Amino acid sequence: MNNILVVGAGSVGGFFGAQMAKHNPNVSFLLRPNTLAVVKQHGLTIRSASGSFTVRPPASSDARDLPRPDLIVLGVKAFDLDEVMNQVEPVLTEKTVILTLQNGIDTEDRLLARFQRDCVVGGVAYIYSKIAAPGVIRHYKKGAVAIGELMGHESARLLAIRDIFAAAAIPCHLSKDIRRSKWEKMCWNCVFNPVTVLIDDHVAKAIDHPEMMGVIRQIVGEVAAVSAAMKVPLPPDMPERVIKATQEIRDIHTSMYDDWKAGRPTEIDYLNGFIVQKGRELGIPTPVNEALTAMIKTMTEHEQSGLGRVRIEGAVVQPISFDRAAIEALPAEHHLDIATVMPGMKGKGIRLRGLLDIPALAIEADHVAFHAADGKYSACLTLQQAKEYGILVYELDGGALPEANGGPFRLVTPGLGDLCANVKGVGRIEITIGLGRDTRQTTCPPDARTVPQ
């Protein structure tokens, strides 16, 4: 294997790839544009207690610009796999081998399903490292891999990959059952990745509390039940093995914790979420993993915004946003048939009284500004006017209010002078102290000016 392509320069791919590039001039990197720019200018740097160094390997955001690889080392997150497969497909040959170093269980099967040939060697990474900045990796502990053929045999390509790691001074263990090795790490990941996020602390905080021991056993028990149903039985003392293995890395956080703190997506869908999905398919209850999945997604996913949502903010204790489904779920007494205010139209609206009663308003709040999502138009009413006359139209003919009709949310104010506080495409409702932004012309009665749309 001459040419090696490392995909990604994160905490895993960056460390192992840099180690290989330090000893092998035939190692290149496929990188995202922002990381590529840094590596092109400053190189890829590993900062480690065992020795820091910088390498300057060939790198590109297009695999076709790099030497055609004999070995591809995947060091990206599981949720990036589909994009990566699209990127590397043009440079694959009949001899190209793909080594997986992702968390999770299904990476290998997804690759085989896509490329329809025996091109995959499974791998497990054992390392504690972090992204300090694009192109800079901090390495703290460990730095070894286990690799194996999915069928368990010792092939020539497996030995060749081992030699590549050995030449880079990377400990590499040959696993006769790499699927079991991956499931064993899955047990650890499904415990400590979400738990460190939930407790906002390192793993020792979890294993030092006796009450957590039962929870850990339940998590691992569910993982092991799914694993067994998928023809990979694990030892009955797997929970104890997970706890024992954690004692020597008590001070670490996890990759999910680091991703959460950095505002990056997490791999929860490929860890506990995968267990929940497979459990449902196989008829195996996984209530603890389901709870962990739901809590992590609730904690870590950014609040949705943009078209299809309206956000109430400003002089409120806590901003809050709604989509159409959330608005429909509000008490029925606040909803009305819009035909009563817009004859000839069949749809629904909600009285703003019901919407504005949800957030806790600042004591001095007395006005409400309704802003179009494009930022061009806004109308400001007194809080009393908004509650008495305001209606937010959200549905037409059983579906979302189309943009052509002022959707997805449109403010109308029957009773304030021929709908003259009409704002189409409402994206923000801003509670203000005093008069807020108002772009209306002054041709209507006071506090009821027309929006020119």
- pLDDT at position 415: 81
CA gap 53, 131 in Å, rounded: 15
Residue 97 above 50 pLDDT? yes
Question: Which is more confidently placed, 308 or 164?
Answer: 164
Residue ranges per domain, the chain?
4-176, 182-300, 309-432
pLDDT band at 40 (very low <50, low <70, confident <90, very high): very high
- pLDDT at position 378: 93
DSSP for 320-371 reads EEEEHHHHHTS-GGGEEEGGGTSTT--EEEEEHHHHHTSSPBPTT--EEEEE
- pLDDT at position 447: 41
Residue 163 above 50 pLDDT? yes
The CATH H-level (homologous superfamily) assignment of domain 4-176 is: NAD(P)-binding Rossmann-like Domain (3.40.50.720)
**Each residue of 198-223: pLDDT tens digit?**
999 999 998 998 899 999 999 999 99
Q: Which CATH number is 182-300 given?
A: 1.10.1040.10
Residue 440 Cα distances to 179, 219, 365, 381, 392, angstroms: 65, 58, 21, 11, 18
Residue 307 above 80 pLDDT? no
- pLDDT at position 443: 43
Are 146 and 123 within 8 A, CB to CB? Answer: yes
Report residue 233 as tokens.
Answer: 């039985």
Please provide the distance, in angstroms rounded to a whole number, between the alpha carbons at the two ends of the chain.
65
Residue 303 above 70 pLDDT? no
DSSP for 291-329 reads HHHHHHHHHHSPPP-STTEEEEEESBSS-EEEEHHHHHT
- pLDDT at position 341: 82
CA gap 31, 7 in Å, rounded: 7
Q: What is the mean pLDDT of the segment spanning 285-305?
A: 89
**Number of C-beta neighbours around residue 55 at 10 A:** 18
pLDDT band at 288 (very low <50, low <70, confident <90, very high): very high
Residue 98 above 60 pLDDT? yes
Residue 158 above 80 pLDDT? yes
- pLDDT at position 227: 97
**Each residue of 101-155: pLDDT tens digit?**
999 999 999 999 999 999 999 999 999 999 999 999 999 988 999 999 999 999 9
pLDDT band at 445 (very low <50, low <70, confident <90, very high): very low
61-75, 232-246, 295-309, 316-330: lowest mean pLDDT where? 295-309
Q: Which residue has the tokens 């085989």?
A: 112
Q: Report long-range pairs for 222-226 (Cβ below 8 Å, ≥24 apart).
A: 222/275, 222/279, 222/284, 222/285, 222/286, 222/287, 222/288, 222/289, 223/183, 223/186, 223/187, 223/190, 223/275, 223/289, 224/187, 225/279, 225/284, 225/286, 226/275, 226/278, 226/279, 226/282, 226/284, 226/286
- pLDDT at position 420: 64
What average pLDDT does the structure give for the chain?
91
Domain 309-432 -> CATH class: alpha beta
- pLDDT at position 1: 82
